[in-house]
Chain A
């Protein structure tokens, strides 16, 4: 079945620098790749998603890139701010169109 691996588990960056979180998936039929942000004690919220027919999508300081050949997708956050501190989860659909979740990345923004 589908397996989604997410790296790193913890990422610490200086405020203002960029952060990149990577996920790999195993099912070549995967066609939907969302990213969720979960602040401490809060619910996960969708921040950006991409479908398999595009290679990149941007929304202000956040972007997601997809490499279908290599079966990996990445979240890019530029000009990081303290409010970007959170746990980020990636996910990919399996052959039954169910979301399979990555283990999460704790992003720490250092002042």
Chain B
């Protein structure tokens, strides 16, 4: 167990809908990262937050947004869902902003039907 908690584990929804994925980082970690992994694909970095502030942005669609709350948990909001958004979404956390080990959660598997 990495200490990073993601909920829900599975999510099934329809096209056009909106969902929220939740992540609680390891105790003491200030950075949260979100990744998208489509079937048999690599890790696509979406966005990073550090201590409540957006730190870095990757290939995140405009339909997606995220935030980190004062208690350091983070939420990833996906709206106007399309079939192609079906993927495994991972959250990771690290102590600082860079050059630190990232610990991954178990992921949320999103299926858009």
Contact = CB atoms under 8 A, between A and B. Distances in A.
Given A43-B2, A43-B90, A98-B48, A103 B42 contact: yes
Interface string A47-63: 00101000000000000
Nearest to B101: A46
A96 B2 contact: no
Interface residues of B, number: 17
Contacts of B99: 31-32, 51, 93, 97
B107 A43 contact: yes
A93 B44 CA distance: 15
Contacts of A8: none
Contact of A102 (B2, B42, B98, B107): B42
Contacts, number: 44
A44 B102 CA distance: 9
Given A98-B56, A101-B42, A101-B43, A45 B104 contact: yes
Chain A interface size, under 10 / 10 to 19 / 20 to 34 / 35 or more: 20 to 34
Nearest to B6: A43
Among B2, B43, B101, B105, find the residue whose CB has the most chain A CB atoms closer than 10 A: B43
B67 interface: no
B43 A89 contact: yes
B43 A49 contact: no
Given A97-B99, A102-B42, 15 more contacts: A34-B102, A43-B104, A45-B2, A46-B101, A46-B103, A49-B101, A51-B99, A89-B42, A93-B98, A96-B98, A98-B98, A99-B102, A101-B42, A101-B45, A103-B42
20 contacts: A32-B98, A43-B2, A43-B104, A43-B105, A43-B106, A46-B101, A46-B103, A49-B101, A51-B99, A89-B43, A93-B98, A96-B98, A97-B97, A97-B98, A97-B99, A98-B48, A98-B56, A101-B42, A104-B42, A104-B43
Interface of B: 2, 42-43, 45, 48, 56, 90, 97-99, 101-107
6 shortest interchain CB distances as A-B pairs: A97-B98, A43-B104, A32-B99, A103-B42, A104-B42, A101-B43
